[in-house]
Chain A
Amino acid sequence: MHPRIVLNALAAVCAAGGAAMFLPAGYSLVAGDGNVLSFGLPALVTLILATALFLLTRSPDSYVSGRDVFLIVVLGWLGVAAIGAVPFVLSGLMGPVNAFFESMAGFTTTGASTVSTPEEVAPSLLLWRSLTQWAGGIGIVVLFVAVAPLVGFGATQLYSAEVANPMPERMTPRIRESAKILAYVYGALTLGGLVALLLAGMGPFDAVNHTLTTVSTGGYSTRSDSIAAFDSWAIELAIVGGMLLSGVNFALYFHAAQGRSGHALGNREFLAYLGIVAGSTVLLTVVLYASGYGDSPLTVFREALFQSASLATGTAFSTAAWASWGPFAQMFLMLLMAIGPCAGSTGGGLKVIRAVLLARHARQEVFRIIHPQAVTPLKLGNRVIPERMRAAFLGFFFVYAAVLVLGTLLIALHGVPVGASFGSVFACLNITGTALGPAGDPAFYAELPGSAKVLLTFFMLLGRLELFTVLVLLTPAFWRG
């Protein structure tokens, strides 16, 4: 552990978070919604304090260990979420607990909210909500595509198994280089999304906000009816495209940028991901139409496509009240949310690669009952997943299930009904911000006891950072030696 380096990096992260608040401050000035000080004050204070800390902890030593990375990541997310909550409190919109919940749901791109009617909230605050998601999105992509494979955690490691532990000193320039490319890709997606939404006929303010929450698969909307409020084919298609693109492993854009698009398109996880969304759209269209829902197959298809893409990527925008769909469709969408999109994307859930490997592993175990001596390496395309990684994703799945169950237990302790308890933990752990039942409704979160809300922010962080990254900080071994 290197406290100076950790503090230095945290100061940089917080300074960036503070600086970002000048944007809504500026917008507030222009729009005249009276929140200039709510943003300007915390922005200034954070920037001054963080810069001071940054300068004080500067050191020529650039050695970063794996432990430092974990500490920086977890504390960084917590710190930024705390800073981001301040404007919500200063503007008088909500109390500190709700504000922290809102801010964490933003930076983790979960999209859960205690605000039922965004139309009544000042536009600069809505812009800030969207910005927190956008920032969280780029943060997670850089973390899991550029940093994780080098340090050795997360599902992207399953792809980059050949990255042997590099010299710690060399790590930083490589991360910086990759982060730069990822930022370009993310920026291009954002710009493309914005242009598409404007062309589709969305107003500029709505377009900016929805673009920011689409590429981050966050799902905050400026309307209480979400995308349904616009009732436009063009807007829905633009958003479906944006969500699907953001659900792709960003490493693939890397490959494509280097002229290896064939390599990227042949990626198994990518193909499985597209297959899941396409299959789900077809299945839901058929099931819903057969059950007499909707007037024409086309309208059912439209809703099925949007809901499949939205929930599979964990964005959780909605164009239809899927809570009114039949039990099969509802449970199926829950499954989509649990699987999530590709690893190394801005989406949440287990990730397609883990789901595919879990299914293969299960099949192999059954097969081994018939052929006890069978040698069954785990393969994904031409790539062989090392046995060590098999153990890792099995462990991941166990922890995921355990957190889901224990989390439900802890929320239920507050007197919340079982279904709602499970739904809220599910929504936070899978970074969807929504789930079957009351957990899809902001009013439900608003009424939860404070301690339950704090617990849920912890589950958001757990889900966002893929469990182990956070849990490792809770082990004594991490702090020893």
Chain B
Amino acid sequence: MRIVIIGAGEVGFNAARMLSAEGHDVVIVEQNEALAEKATEGLDALVMQGNGASPRVLREAGVKSSDLLVAATGSDEANIIACLAAKAQGALRTVARIHNQDYYDPREPFTQEVLGIDFVIHTEQMATEEIMGALALPGAVNAETFAEGRITIAEVILQEDAPVVGKPIRDVELPERSLVVGVVRRGEALVPRGDTVLEARDRVFLIGEKRRIAGIVRAIVTDVEPVREVMILGGGRIGLRLALALEKGGVSVKVVERDEAKARHAAVQLTRGLVLHDEGISRDFLLQERVDRTDAFVAVTGDDRANLLAAMYASQLGAKLTVAGISRGEFSPLAEALGVDITISPRLLAAGAILRFVRRGEISAVTLLESGAQMIELRVPESHRIAGRPLAEVGFPRGAILGAVLRGDKVIIPTGRDSLKAGDNVVVFTVGAAVDKVERIFAS
């Protein structure tokens, strides 16, 4: 597939890297010289320097013969113009990143059609949903659903005092029909085997039916109090959206915003939530506002450093769960070291969304993890060679584990003796390059 990407920022760069790794021809257009240079060095792609919204530049980039245009600059207007121009020149499909909801309303697909955009990436909305998902499942730091919402993978962090710490996985007693599909230890993902010994601060991925997942999490996590009080640093696009969603769900929220006008806007929007006008990263302030009593502290300002710093303080001061928004990739390893429980990265969310769009048809869902692991959902094609054979004989790659199967409306957690049938939906946890091998196995 030939793909043109406009903008080599965090989102564009990462999307380009992943897409070229998947074997697509990628052309990336970037106006900023430094970013263009960085892309030339870091990507296996053709890099052009110029304004991606210009029809002339798009023509030079070969949009006419491309299958996909991804507009991922920081400007909504530039992205929209690029999509319009690309459609006019004959690009098959377009994906655009849009920040401003005025341009994009999911309830009005017509606007999208007029703008020539096939798929809108709304990272703020995705980030909000991501955080909401994590907060909605007590004890877990992340929850991803697959198979039409039937199967959930929950990510939990093992505390020092968790009873399973120091035990090999085969001795961990989990409820029926559940499984540990992955472990991320010090930023590295590994596929667990029976003799893998769990350690404190391990991130453990549990799979199971959605309606049972809370019970599965409770089996290995001690603290599963529901979230009742959340403090949000940053009342911008993500922060305010999250605050409104939480408030609707009956959670008490405190929003801290340093810009006075934004703070006022947030205070006007919220009915019960409290808005504080402050920088929010001083210890005194956090203590005064009783961060130690909050169930979750979410730092989603536009500044990665402030987010990390505040989340670290909050974590030290006793906030139960800390979340930090991080847009730049190079900061993400820091989060683990600083004791931040969850990082929310628009970069990963956007890249995941683009990947989902590109692979639509073959793969139903993809979730990328910071550690490089992926959770994917695939469908067993009709009359395929793996159908009917016991899984032990299929020869799964070492870095992959088949977590769950949705057959009809039945969820199965398979063992080596089970076999797949055509039409099954399977959820696979993969590490590193194993994802390609898994995809090859399922390719028709």
A residues sitting closer than 8 Å to B (CB atoms) are 371, 373-377, 379, 384
Contact = CB atoms under 8 A, between A and B. Distances in A.
Contacts of B285: 373
A384 B276 contact: no
Contacts of A379: 268
Interface string B264-306: 1011100000111110000001000100000000000000000
Contact of A376 (B256, B260, B267, B289): B267
B274 A374 contact: yes
A374 B275 contact: yes
B78 interface: no
B266 A375 contact: yes
B252 to A, nearest CB: 13
B267 A377 contact: yes
B263 interface: yes
B234 to A, nearest CB: 14
A259 B352 CA distance: 49
A379 B269 CA distance: 10
The 3 A-B pairs at the shortest CB distance, nearest first, are namely A373-B276, A375-B275, A373-B278
Interface residues on B, range: 10 to 19
7 contacts: A373-B276, A374-B276, A375-B264, A375-B267, A375-B276, A376-B267, A379-B268
B289 A371 contact: yes
A377 B285 CA distance: 21
Interface in B248-267: 256-257, 260, 263-264, 266-267
Contacts of A375: 257, 260, 263-264, 266-267, 275-277
A371 B257 CA distance: 14
Interface of B: 256-257, 260, 263-264, 266-268, 274-278, 285, 289
A373 to B, nearest CB: 4
Most B CB within 10 A of own CB, among A371, A373, A376, A377: A373
A20 B360 CA distance: 82
B244 to A, nearest CB: 14
A384 B289 CA distance: 25
A377 B235 CA distance: 15
B264 A377 contact: yes
A375 to B, nearest CB: 4
A371 B256 CA distance: 11
Contacts of A376: 267, 275
Nearest to B289: A371
Given A374-B276, A375-B276, 4 more contacts: A374-B274, A375-B277, A376-B267, A376-B275
A374 B266 CA distance: 11
Contacts of B278: 373
B191 to A, nearest CB: 47
Contacts of B260: 375
Nearest to B279: A373
A375 B270 CA distance: 11
A112 B206 CA distance: 80
Nearest to B266: A375
A379 B264 CA distance: 12
B395 to A, nearest CB: 60
Contacts of B266: 375
Nearest to B276: A373
A371 B274 contact: yes
A450 to B, nearest CB: 53
A377 B276 contact: no
Nearest to A367: B274
Contacts of A384: 268
Contacts of A371: 274, 276, 289
A377 B289 CA distance: 19
A375 B275 CA distance: 5
A375 B257 CA distance: 9
Nearest to B267: A375
Most B CB within 10 A of own CB, among A373, A375, A379: A375
A374 B289 CA distance: 10
A365 to B, nearest CB: 15
A445 to B, nearest CB: 48
B277 A373 contact: yes
A447 B263 CA distance: 59
A373 B282 CA distance: 13
A198 to B, nearest CB: 48
Most B CB within 10 A of own CB, among A376, A377, A379, A384: A377
A376 B268 CA distance: 8
Contacts of B264: 375, 377
Contacts of B275: 374-376
A225 to B, nearest CB: 50
A178 to B, nearest CB: 29
A374 B272 CA distance: 13
Nearest to B256: A373
A377 B268 contact: yes
A371 B276 CA distance: 8
A384 B260 CA distance: 16
A371 B273 CA distance: 13
A377 B266 CA distance: 10
A371 B288 CA distance: 8
B15 to A, nearest CB: 37
Contacts of A377: 264, 267-268
A144 B245 CA distance: 40
A161 to B, nearest CB: 13
A192 B264 CA distance: 46
A384 B266 CA distance: 12
Nearest to A384: B268
Contacts of A374: 274-277
A377 to B, nearest CB: 5
A374 B61 CA distance: 51
A254 B263 CA distance: 35
A374 B254 CA distance: 10
Contacts of B267: 375-377
Contacts of B289: 371
Nearest to B285: A373
A374 B276 CA distance: 4
A376 B277 CA distance: 10
Nearest to A372: B288
B355 to A, nearest CB: 40
A363 to B, nearest CB: 13
A377 B265 CA distance: 9
Most A CB within 10 A of own CB, among B260, B266, B267: B267
A371 B275 CA distance: 10
A373 B260 CA distance: 11
B281 to A, nearest CB: 13
A385 to B, nearest CB: 10
A384 B274 CA distance: 16
Contacts of B277: 373-375
A170 B371 CA distance: 66
A449 B264 CA distance: 54
A157 B264 CA distance: 21
A364 to B, nearest CB: 11
A480 B275 CA distance: 44
A373 B289 CA distance: 10
A384 B276 CA distance: 18
A371 to B, nearest CB: 6
A414 B278 CA distance: 56
Nearest to B263: A375
